[in-house]
Amino acid sequence: MMAQFLLFVLALFFFALSVLGSTPQGFFLRQDPSFSTACLEFEPLNYVPNAAVNAHEFVAAGTTLQFPGSDPSCATPNQTVSVDICRIALNISTSDRSGVIFESWLPRNWTGRFLATGNGGIDGCIKYDDINYGNANGFSAVGSNNGHNGTGGSAFLNNPEVLNDYVYRSLHTIAEAGKNLTAAFYSRPANNSYYLGCSGGGRQGIKAAEMFPEDFNGIVVGAPAVNFNNMTSWRASFFGKTGAPSSPNFIPASAWQGFIHDKVLKQCDTIDGVADGIIEDPTLCDFRPEALICSAGQNSTDCLNEAQVEIIRSVLSPLYGASGELVFPAMQPGSEVMAVQKLYAGAPFPYSLDWFRYVVYNTSTFDDTHFSISDITAAQALNPFNVQTYPSNISNFTGPHKGKLLIFHGQQDQQITSFATERFYKHLAEGVGLYSTQLDEFLRFFRISGMFHCNSGPGAWMIGQAGSGSIGFDPESNVLAAVVQWVEEGLPPETILGTKYVNDSKVNGVERSRRHCRFPYRNTYIGGNASLPQSWECIVPDFVEH
């Protein structure tokens, strides 16, 4: 009798567990076979009605998912999933002429958090890797093709609806759809919502803060492609400056990566106190290329003529408009090692080329060898759906909604100069009339020295910006974990501890780790082993009022 009663109580207990949620971390017990059943029985179209199902499956940890339909230009044919998930892939209509290819991956072990991931460039490539990164850390995570497939822009031609998705509608739609599915699947809504994106994905995050302040509680953006029209023009302007590889004074990659980069380091590397190949603050580097002019009898493989020095000056200068106004800030010196791949390659920058072709001029014949000021003006004048993304006030996000924005930018970025993010930071500060110490309450911008565009580089670049750049989910060393702690516990990140492995491989051990400072603080060597974080200090530059 007693035993029966106990069994009954136990049964009730387990029933309650299965209904109400089991562990503080999530709804489904790790060994609970009902997770896969619950996944397959779930009816997503009840919660995202304006859609069709592309895939709906339980995926066990360790499985490599294949994406045969993924555009080859995205180079994402497969993704190995780190944890058990329920995968729901939909085609959500956004108008009668457009739709988004959407992925919602719901992990068994859920923390109550939701994550939306962004795209890059002008592309429509789903970042499966970022979705998996979110899942691996307990987020219910979503991503999409941002309204079109592949890295090119031809889908924009004569279809403003596709452009609308690209500019803002896709991300807003998938945030809403993802939250709907999350709430229904786990029987309670996400406690907090986050966004993670870099480059074009960085612009998407800022646009969300500007237009849909309630979509996210915390936003992490890297190298944001804000001031988009002008940035597109700036990128297009390089081809005219460098000339094609066949032109007489073209500077080859070997020169940029060899003696030119060496000279940049010679002039600027020790400003921060250490010759380690990393310029902590490129704003202090006023590179003088005339030091590279060939002297009499010098072998011209190690030096430049006057015309080439002029090309370097022009490449490292800001872009100005018709009345001499600033269009986009200068490329930061130090980035030449990687900039030879695209901006200094003597070829059109593909994203800019497609934007002018398929959006600004609606013709596939645009040729940016002859890029001129009138192109800058045309791009800015069109500004479709306000893709510009240059808010001077994001108070709706940071004020009543208490949203937190964490921005990072590599100081050796070869695709979007990091000076553009400093300018944007100051633009926001002026727009809302706040000093940096006041902005610190909701906006922090970390300058990641020695990091290329979004990731990699000689510096301590691993900061949790993606699964491949993460050494763990610790707020001290992971930007996503840092914004979570900021939102949920009110503890903002003071610094971000970056890590660099020897040859970027963990088995080789750590080459250096360094705490990156938030703007306008500047990292400065104070003594000791420069590979260790305690040998550096964030100091306030003289000019800052605070």
Active-site residues, by number, are: 199, 413, 453
Two tokens at 541? Answer: 């530059």
Residue nearest to ligand NAG (CB): 99
The phi and psi torsions of 79 (rounded to 5 degrees) equal -150, 125
Two tokens at 462? Answer: 């691993």
Two tokens at 152? Answer: 């090119």
Contact by Cβ (8 Å): 288, 468 = no
Contact by Cβ (8 Å): 318, 326 = yes
The three state secondary structure string of 178-229 is: HHHHHHHHHCCCCCEEEEEEECHHHHHHHHHHHHCCCCCCEEEEECCCCCHH
* First and final C-alpha spacing in the chain: 74
Decide if residue 237 touches ligand NAG (CB under 6 A).
no
Give the distance between the most distant pair of CA atoms in the chain. 106
CB atoms within 10 A of CB 152: 20
Decide if residue 227 touches ligand NAG (CB under 6 A).
yes
Decide if residue 78 touches ligand NAG (CB under 6 A).
yes
Decide if residue 324 touches ligand NAG (CB under 6 A).
no
Taking CA atoms, 473 is separated from 465, 481, 485, 489, 506, in Å, by 11, 6, 11, 16, 16
Report the residue number, 241 or 357, with the smaller CB distance to ligand NAG.
357
Contact by Cβ (8 Å): 115, 195 = yes
Single residue of 119, 140, 144, 149 touching ligand NAG by CB under 6 A? 149
Please give the size of the binding site for ligand NAG, defined by CB under 6 A.
Answer: 56
Site track 485-524 with ligand NAG (rule: CB under 6 A), x = hit? -----------------xx----x----------------
Contact by Cβ (8 Å): 352, 232 = yes
CB atoms within 10 A of CB 258: 15
To 10 degrees, what angle do helices 170-186 and 200-211 make? 80
- In the complex, what is the shortest distance from the CB of residue 249 to ligand NAG, in angstroms, rounded to a whole number? 18
- In the complex, what is the shortest distance from the CB of residue 522 to ligand NAG, in angstroms, rounded to a whole number? 24
CB atoms within 10 A of CB 324: 6
Decide if residue 429 touches ligand NAG (CB under 6 A).
no
Report the residue number, 245 or 399, with the smaller CB distance to ligand NAG.
399
User: Which residue stretch of 51-59, 239-247, 442-450, 479-487 sits at the interface with ligand NAG (rule: CB under 6 A)?
Assistant: 51-59
The rounded radius of gyration (Å) of the Cα atoms in the chain is: 25
Decide if residue 98 touches ligand NAG (CB under 6 A).
yes
- In the complex, what is the shortest distance from the CB of residue 50 to ligand NAG, in angstroms, rounded to a whole number? 6
Site track 19-38 with ligand NAG (rule: CB under 6 A), x = hit? -----xx----x--------
- In the complex, what is the shortest distance from the CB of residue 192 to ligand NAG, in angstroms, rounded to a whole number? 7
Single residue of 257, 305, 386, 395 touching ligand NAG by CB under 6 A? 395
Single residue of 41, 325, 489, 545 touching ligand NAG by CB under 6 A? 325
Decide if residue 176 touches ligand NAG (CB under 6 A).
yes
User: Which residue stretch of 31-39, 305-313, 391-399, 474-482 sits at the interface with ligand NAG (rule: CB under 6 A)?
Assistant: 391-399
- In the complex, what is the shortest distance from the CB of residue 433 to ligand NAG, in angstroms, rounded to a whole number? 5
SS3 category, 172 = helix
d(CA 324, CA 338): 29
Single residue of 142, 177, 330, 481 touching ligand NAG by CB under 6 A? 177
SS3 category, 141 = strand
Site track 52-71 with ligand NAG (rule: CB under 6 A), x = hit? x-x---------x----xx-
Buried b (16+ CB within 10 A) or exposed e, 355-384: bbbbbbeeeeebebeebeeebbeebbeeeb
Report residue 189 CA to chain centroid gap: 26
H or E stretch at 114 = strand 113-117
Report the residue number, 280 or 413, with the smaller CB distance to ligand NAG.
413
SS3 category, 36 = helix
Decide if residue 137 touches ligand NAG (CB under 6 A).
yes
Single residue of 35, 88, 109, 515 touching ligand NAG by CB under 6 A? 109
User: Which residue stretch of 46-54, 197-205, 520-528, 531-539 sits at the interface with ligand NAG (rule: CB under 6 A)?
Assistant: 46-54
CB atoms within 10 A of CB 305: 14
User: Which residue stretch of 249-257, 265-273, 342-350, 387-395 sits at the interface with ligand NAG (rule: CB under 6 A)?
Assistant: 387-395
Give me the residues paired with residue 105 across strands: 87, 141
Report residue 159 CA to chain centroid gap: 26
Single residue of 85, 101, 142, 223 touching ligand NAG by CB under 6 A? 101
Report the residue number, 176 or 440, with the smaller CB distance to ligand NAG.
176
Single residue of 180, 372, 383, 531 touching ligand NAG by CB under 6 A? 180
Report the residue number, 486 or 536, with the smaller CB distance to ligand NAG.
486
User: Which residue stretch of 44-52, 261-269, 270-278, 285-293 sits at the interface with ligand NAG (rule: CB under 6 A)?
Assistant: 44-52
Decide if residue 48 touches ligand NAG (CB under 6 A).
yes
Two tokens at 228? Answer: 């988009």
Single residue of 257, 314, 372, 377 touching ligand NAG by CB under 6 A? 377
The phi and psi torsions of 500 (rounded to 5 degrees) equal -130, 120
Single residue of 278, 327, 339, 406 touching ligand NAG by CB under 6 A? 327
- All residues at 6 or more sequence positions from 296 whose CB lies less than 8 Å from its CB, including other chains: none
Decide if residue 278 touches ligand NAG (CB under 6 A).
no
Site residues (vs ligand NAG, CB under 6 A): 24-25, 30, 48-52, 54, 64, 69-70, 77-78, 91, 93, 98-99, 101, 109, 111-112, 137-138, 149, 158, 160, 173, 176-177, 180, 188, 191, 227, 230, 299, 301, 321, 325-327, 361-362, 376-377, 380, 382, 390, 393, 395-396, 432-433, 502-503, 508
